[in-house]
Amino acid sequence: MTDTISTPVANQFWSVGADIEDTKAPKGVDIDKVWKTRQFQARLVNPANRRKLSVIIVGTGLAGGAAAATLGEAGYNVLNFCYQDSPRRAHSIAAQGGINAAKNYRNDNDSTHRLFYDTVKGGDYRARETNVYRLAEVSANIIDQCVAQGVPFAREYGGLLDTRSFGGVQVQRTFYARGQTGQQLLIGAYQQLERQVAAGTVKMYTRHEMVELIVVDGRARGIVTRNMVNGKVETWTADAVVLATGGYGNVFFLSTNAMGCNVTATWRAHRKGAYFGNPCYTQIHPTCIPVHGETQSKLTLMSESLRNDGRIWVPKKAEDCAKDPRQIPEEARDYYLERIYPAFGNLVPRDIASRQAKNMCDEGRGVGPAVAEVGSDGVERQVRRGVYLDFSDAINRLGQKAVENKYGNLFDMYAQITGENPYETPMRIYPAVHYTMGGLWVDYDLQSSIPGMYVTGEANFSDHGANRLGASALMQGLADGYFVLPNTINDYLADAPFEKVADNHPAVVEARATAQARIDKLLSIQGTRSVDSYHKELGHIMWEYCGMERTEAGLKKAIGLIQELRKDYWSNVRVTGKNEDFNQALERAGRVADFMELGELMCVDALHRRESCGGHFRAESQTPEGEALRHDDEFLYVAAWEWGGEGSKPVLHREPLNYKAIELKQRSYK
Partner 1 sequence: MKLKLRIWRQTGPDAAGRMVEYDLDGVSEDMSFLEMLDLLNENLTERNEEPVAFDHDCREGICGMCGVVINGIAHGGSATTTCQLHMRSFSDGATIDIEPWHAGAFPVIKDLAVDRGALDRIIAAGGFISSNTGSAPDAHATPAPKREADKAFDNATCIGCGACVAACPNSSAMLFTAAKITHLAMLPQGQPERYRRVKSMVAQHDEEGFGNCTNIGECAAVCPKGIPLESIAQLNRDMIASLFKGDGK
Q: C-alpha distances in angstroms, 228 versus 89, 222, 253, 596?
A: 16, 19, 22, 22
Output the smallest distance, CB 651 to partner 1, in A. Answer: 35
Torsion-angle region of 125 (φ positive above 0: left; ψ -120 to 50: alpha; else: beta): left
Look up residue 469 and give its amino acid: L
- DSSP 8-state secondary structure symbol assigned to residue 305: G
DSSP string across 350-408: HHHHHHHHHHHHHTT---SSEEEEE-TTS-EEEEE--EEEE-HHHHHHH-HHHHHHHHH
Q: Between residues 216 and 301, which has the closer beta carbon with respect to partner 1?
A: 301
Look up residue 161 and give its amino acid: L
Q: Between residues 88 and 350, which has the closer beta carbon with respect to partner 1?
A: 88
DSSP string across 587-642: HHHHHHHHHHHHHHHHHHHHHH--S-BTTB-BTTSB-TTS-B---HHHH-EEEEEE
* 453-455/380-384 β-pairing: unpaired
The answer to whether 287 and 415 have CB atoms below 8 angstroms apart is no
The answer to whether 227 and 207 have CB atoms below 8 angstroms apart is yes
Strand order of the β-sheet with 637-642 is 15-16, 651-656, 637-642, 276-277, 439-440
Please, where are the H alpha helices in 165-271?
A: 181-199, 264-271
Q: Which residues pair with 78 in a beta bridge?
A: 55, 202
Alpha-carbon span 346 to 130, nearest angstrom: 32
The answer to whether 238 and 219 have CB atoms below 8 angstroms apart is no
The answer to whether 370 and 382 have CB atoms below 8 angstroms apart is yes
Q: Between residues 168 and 260, which has the closer beta carbon with respect to partner 1?
A: 260
φ, ψ of residue 230 to 5 degrees: the values are -120, 5
Output the smallest distance, CB 195 to partner 1, in A. Answer: 5
Distance from chain centroid for Cα 380: 31
Burial class (CB in 10 A: 0-12, 13-18, 19+), 313: buried
Q: C-alpha distances in angstroms, 622 versus 338, 516, 625, 639?
A: 20, 48, 8, 21
Alpha-carbon span 133 to 1, nearest angstrom: 28
- DSSP 8-state secondary structure symbol assigned to residue 155: B
Output the smallest distance, CB 610 to partner 1, in A. Answer: 36
Count of C-beta atoms within a 10 Å radius of residue 97: 23
Q: Which of 460, 652, 449 is nearest to 19 (CA)?
A: 652
Q: C-alpha distances in angstroms, 582 versus 85, 517, 521?
A: 12, 18, 18
DSSP-based three-state secondary structure for 472: coil
The answer to whether 264 and 527 have CB atoms below 8 angstroms apart is no
User: Is 350 one of the annotated active-site residues of the chain?
Assistant: yes
DSSP-based three-state secondary structure for 283: strand
Distance from chain centroid for Cα 300: 15
The catalytic position among 50, 88, 173, 350 is 350
Alpha-carbon span 514 to 516, nearest angstrom: 5
Q: Which residues pair with 374 in a beta bridge?
A: 380
Output the smallest distance, CB 295 to partner 1, in A. Answer: 5
Q: Between residues 349 and 590, which has the closer beta carbon with respect to partner 1?
A: 590
Catalytic residues: 350
